[in-house]
Amino acid sequence: MHVSLRSGVYADSVKLMQVSKAVGARDGVTAVLVAMATPLNLELAAGMGLDPGEEARPDQLLVALRAVDDAELAAAVTAVEVALTAREERGSADAVPARTVGFALAEEADTPLAVVSVPGPYAVAEAMDAVAAGRSVLVFSDGVPVEHEVALKAAAHEAGVLVMGPDCGTAIVGGVALGFANVVRRGPVGLVAASGTGAQQVSCLLDMAGVGVSHVLGTGGRDLSAAVGGRATLDALAMLDADDATERVLLVSKPPAPEVAEEVGRTAAGLSTPFSSAALSADSPDLTAAVEALLREMGTEVPVWPTRSGADREVPAGAVLKGFYSGGTLADEAMLVAAPALGDVRSNTPLRPELDLGADFGATGHVVVDFGDDALTVGRAHPMIDPTLRLEAVAGLAASGEPAVLLMDVVLGYGADPDPAGALVPAIRDLPFPVVVAVVGTEGDPQGWSRQADALAAAGAHVFASNSAATRFAVDLIGA
């Protein structure tokens, strides 16, 4: 066994996941975890019998390995070293990369948009450089203090540019997909989205209906909170209203703060472009219904959303809903749809504080877990890339013997797992209870909606293109 903590070494979570996978595939390696030493990753290491046995800090790199013998272990440690020190190929050996966003933008005068993806505490400095240079910026980073977000968005408003984020995972600007976006057609609908997977669900359904998007302007999941006050949302609405390619504007979000929703509503009423809302709430819990209403307003026929039938597994007596999600807005939608029929649903991102699940993902009863929540992605890749935590939860549910109906999402598109069904199929094929999956994507995505849906259905899952339809199907199976 080899366990070490290294200071002064940093690599992003995707890189570390790739290293772990590559080294774990070596003959003779029986366990591997290469990750930043966050509390969650230390807990995972301890569960693998690879506890570092000393106090660790989140800014240290944890390298934990087990192999069949000393020779294989030494070779695996060397493989980790090689993978960590390998650099990406660059176009020119003489090229010196810019060390800051400010320097990069000074050399690229025609670049209208910067993307910032660095550890959250350092993101605001880079994003401020972009704003000072008169550029809009997408801040992919999470973990940014809310006071930094407020200051950044205030500066952007004064500069007449847009800040998308922090924690903005999805955007499409002028047909260019950024982050976790899908392959969707160009068209007349502009989305303002304080939600990543919500924007993906809406844009994919529009694409399936033959309607495209002009832009998808993500604002970050906190933008419609009372603390941030919808600053980026208001700026994005104004930008889309002035855009000749946008004929309709649709707002997509998790449940907003009531006072912020009122301010957005007042601003929307003054737009010259027709405006609709798909902001989730107890009164409007369904993104698919919002899309269908928009299609009718546009005079477009609402299609039959595609589905796949899975195995006719018996629903166990006393079955409860277990929702294991990678998308936070999809998890919220599932809880809003299910709660009227099932009653209280506990979660790590609950609809009400008293329903907070904490980290007890194996808790009994109706549970929805958002594995993409910021607390679970510190120092590790998002579950749309790395399904490890969710697969462990599925295995734990199967081992618990609790009667259940399992509800999950699979989100396709750029940046996501190239074959998410490939990872899920072995985990769900032999489960003794029904599995329901919402596949969010399009046929044009690299993974292909039908290819993923067919593979999941062949493994026994009931598959839906609509997350709300998947949730209602799962609730109906329970018989609530």
Sequence letter at residue 43: E
Pairing of strands 462-464, 435-440: parallel
CA distances from 118 to 122, 127, 239 (A): 7, 10, 27
**Confidence bin at 344 (pLDDT 50/70/90):** very high
Sequence letter at residue 155: A
pLDDT > 50? residue 439: yes
Query: Who wins on pLDDT, 303 or 386?
Result: 303
User: What pLDDT does 90 receive?
Assistant: 46
The residue with tokens 């597994």 is 313
Q: What architecture does CATH give domain 101-297?
A: 3-Layer(aba) Sandwich (3.40)
Cβ–Cβ under 8 Å, residues 325 and 370:
yes
**Confidence bin at 47 (pLDDT 50/70/90):** confident
User: What pLDDT does 13 receive?
Assistant: 67
Pairing of strands 462-464, 307-308: antiparallel
- Residue 439 CA to residue 427 CA, distance in Å, equals 17
Provide the terminal-to-terminal Cα distance of the chain, rounded to the nearest Å: 50
User: What pLDDT does 91 receive?
Assistant: 47
Work out the percent of the chain whose per-residue pLDDT is above 90: 70
User: What pLDDT does 327 receive?
Assistant: 92
Query: Who wins on pLDDT, 206 or 31?
Result: 206
Structure tokens at 291: 């899309």
Tell me the HSE value of 294 on the side-chain side, using a 13 A CA sphere.
31
User: What pLDDT does 103 receive?
Assistant: 66
Spell out the domain ranges in the chain.
Answer: 2-85, 101-297, 307-478
Question: Among candidates 15, 59, 64, which has minimal Cα distance to 36?
Answer: 59
Residues 130-157 have pLDDT tens digits of 999 999 999 988 889 999 999 999 999 9
Question: Among candidates 251, 132, 267, which has minimal Cα distance to 195?
Answer: 251
pLDDT > 80? residue 334: yes
Question: Among candidates 465, 417, 462, which has minimal Cα distance to 440?
Answer: 465
Phi, psi of 316 (to 5 degrees): -65, 150
**Confidence bin at 209 (pLDDT 50/70/90):** very high
User: What pLDDT does 141 receive?
Assistant: 86
Q: What is the DSSP letter of 256?
A: P
Structure tokens at 462: 């009931």
5-9, 55-59, 78-82, 328-332: which has the highest mean pLDDT? 328-332
The whole-chain average pLDDT of the chain stands at 91
Structure tokens at 308: 């796949």
Phi, psi of 78 (to 5 degrees): -65, -40
Tell me the HSE value of 89 on the side-chain side, using a 13 A CA sphere.
1
Residues 280-296 have pLDDT tens digits of 999 988 999 999 999 99
Residue 52, Cβ density class (10 Å: 0-12 exposed, 13-18 middle, ≥19 buried): middle
CA distances from 425 to 162, 343, 350, 362, 373 (A): 41, 30, 28, 21, 24
Mean pLDDT confidence for 21-46: 84
Question: Among candidates 180, 309, 297, which has minimal Cα distance to 250?
Answer: 297
Phi, psi of 240 (to 5 degrees): -70, -35
User: What pLDDT does 97 receive?
Assistant: 63
The residue with tokens 């003794």 is 432
User: What pLDDT does 99 receive?
Assistant: 65
pLDDT > 60? residue 451: yes
User: What pLDDT does 41 receive?
Assistant: 81
- Range name among 82-96, 105-119, 212-226 with the lowest pLDDT average: 82-96
**Confidence bin at 474 (pLDDT 50/70/90):** very high
Using left for φ > 0, alpha for ψ between -120 and 50, and beta otherwise, residue 57 falls in beta
The residue with tokens 């940046």 is 415
Fold agreement (2-85, 307-478): no
SS3 state of residue 121: helix
**Confidence bin at 374 (pLDDT 50/70/90):** confident
Sequence letter at residue 52: P
Mean pLDDT confidence for 383-396: 92
Cβ–Cβ under 8 Å, residues 464 and 441:
no
CATH code that applies to domain 307-478: 3.40.50.261
CATH code that applies to domain 2-85: 3.30.70
Peptide bond preceding 166 in cis form (omega within 30 of 0): yes
Mean pLDDT confidence for 366-382: 87
- Its pTM surpasses 0.75: yes
pLDDT > 50? residue 229: yes
Partners of 308 in the beta sheet? 463
Cβ–Cβ under 8 Å, residues 452 and 420:
yes
- Residue 292 CA to residue 289 CA, distance in Å, equals 5
